[in-house]
Chains A and B, each alone.
Chain A
Amino acid sequence: MSEWSILAETVLLGALSGGVMALIALSFVLVYKGTGAVNFAVGEVMMLGAYLYYAGVVSFDLPPWLAFVGSLVVIMAVSALVERLVLRPLAGQSVVAMLMATIGLASIIHGGVEAVAGGDTYSPPGLLPRTPMTIGDILIPGAVLGNFAIAALLILGFLAFFRWSRAGVALRATASDPVTAATLGIHIHRAQQLTWALSGLVGTVAGVLIASSVGLSPLLAGTALAVLAAIVLGGLDSVAGAIVASLIVGIVEALAAGYLGGKTREVVPYIVVLVVLVVRPYGIFGTRAIERL
């Protein structure tokens, strides 16, 4: 295998893993854009969804696809409930209050899952057949490819939804000016609840995809924190930015791991982010107003 194919393989695998990161990023950005809250429980919600999927398959003996759909439905309902019971009463409070609430929520979910399932690592079944693909010398594992395909489809679906559907346009309108949206008859509480549910949905898809390829343990929640780097890079309020930045971070991670050694993958992306932030504090695609955070 030539050096160029190794480079190509590294970049490709990095970009593919960036696809799943983009889902996690989308989960953050949706809630931030729609409600102004930075949801630090994204990782835990994602982990909870993956555990529900595993429990559906192993404890309830459901076929994987059914367990998957079931976990999505449950997480969407839980997210909508969290919006109603935790975040909505805090509306109008400081950003710090909402931040603390989501951090508290994260601890509760984390502790709850550990208490019930323990700290062991499980390996949930995959959703897709794991046929690897080869392009010339390059071999791409089936799980990586499948995960990317699902992530890409879901992200394209979301982009289309926000671009063209009435509900998507209504959600964008609510995010940009809730008061005016209300005078147009948009039920803004319901819109914000829907935003939380959608955020839970993409998070759970990411959680199940990651868990079924690298294993399921409470550590899964930490994956989301790594994605925060990508979000800050892309601009917290930009869907397109989050996607592009996730791909960049995925590639940088893979290059660092491949050429500088495995451990550097956790450090190098942050260095890149730091450099970008010095030049553009509001991210690559973010709006300038975001500086106040």
Chain B
Amino acid sequence: MTPTPAAGLGLSVEGVDLRFGGIHALRGVSFQAGPGQITAVIGPNGAGKTSVFNTISGFYRPAAGRIRLGESDITTAPVHARAGMGLARSFQNIALFRGLSVLENIKLGGHHGMRTGLLSALAFTPRARAEELALREEVERRVIDFLEIDHLRHKPVDALSYGLQKRVELARALAMRPRVLMLDEPVAGMNREETEDMARFILDVQEEWGVTVLLVEHDMAMVMDISSHVVVLNFGEVIAAGTPAEVRRHPAVIEAYLGAEVHP
């Protein structure tokens, strides 16, 4: 394991079409998340934001179009293989493993980077053990200290507050040493203080690790604060894209959000 993380990769979504039976969830969606930058995908409820995320993760196979991570086309790569290519994500509804401790959850993030497979880990070979120790140290130093959760490491995740669970999920994604980090509503349901903490961590991650961040978020103030590029979806289509200032003034965006609960 190298001590420094790999720099962020660009992610491009090119003409992605997604259908579920008669529902056309995404229509020719194209956008790019620049390497090392923070890109946000926004849009009213049902606009297709989560569909975009799930397609990038590999849960859905698009009817047309491609997904590119850096130079590689990952459109048809299996879900677990994408982790090895540098793709990590968090989920809208926290997807931590109940019954496992904070540390166990986070260490699972480092799983894909291990060269020793499940079977040799099973046999407790010296190399597997050495690798495990290295992972543990790496996780302690780079992730747990970084996110200020060292006092929680042996707690069961179920015992944590909502905001802290979200932070542990971010920690697990970081333990994957991602080159593209996807965050699905990282501050949904958080209070002001928790939101500010999370925004600061996301900015720190981007600055110190050089990771490309792609986020879906409803909190407009936070999106406009930290993103350098914003993509707006409505009814499965990209209706606008640009800097926060450009998007805020875009007539189509204003129209899409009129009457919607969140105002840009």
Contact = CB atoms under 8 A, between A and B. Distances in A.
Nearest to B118: A167
Q: Is the interface of A mostly helix, strand, loop or mixed?
A: helix
A173 B108 CA distance: 8
B246 to A, nearest CB: 32
Given A165-B121, A170-B111, A194-B119, A184 B172 contact: yes
B111 A186 contact: yes
A181 B91 CA distance: 12
Nearest to A163: B104
A191 B97 contact: no
Interface string B87-103: 01101000101111000
Contacts of B113: 185
Contacts of A177: 95, 97
B114 interface: yes
> Closest 7 CB pairs between A and B?
A185-B112, A185-B83, A182-B79, A167-B121, A180-B95, A167-B118, A182-B80
A187 B119 CA distance: 12
Contact of A161 (B84, B112, B122): B122
A130 interface: no
B122 A180 contact: no
Nearest to A182: B79
Contacts of B108: 169-170, 173, 181, 184, 186
Contacts of B59: 179
8 contacts: A167-B119, A176-B97, A179-B95, A182-B78, A183-B88, A184-B80, A185-B111, A186-B111
B219 interface: no
A176 B83 CA distance: 19
Size category, B interface: 35 or more
A151 interface: no
A170 B104 CA distance: 9
Q: How large is the interface on A (under 10, 10 to 19, 20 to 34, 35 or more residues)?
A: 20 to 34
B89 A183 contact: yes
A187 B99 contact: no
B118 A194 contact: yes
Interface in B133-153: 135
Contacts of A161: 122
Interface in A130-167: 161, 165-167
Contacts of B20: none
Given A176-B97, A179-B59, A180-B95, A166 B114 contact: yes
A166 B100 contact: no
B100 A183 contact: no
A165 B117 CA distance: 12
Contacts of A172: 97, 99-100
A41 B62 CA distance: 39
Contacts of A170: 108, 111, 118
A184 B112 contact: yes
Given A161-B122, A183-B88, A185-B111, 8 more contacts: A166-B128, A170-B111, A173-B100, A180-B95, A183-B89, A184-B111, A184-B112, A185-B82
Contacts of B98: 176
Contact of B118 (A176, A181, A190): A190
A252 interface: no
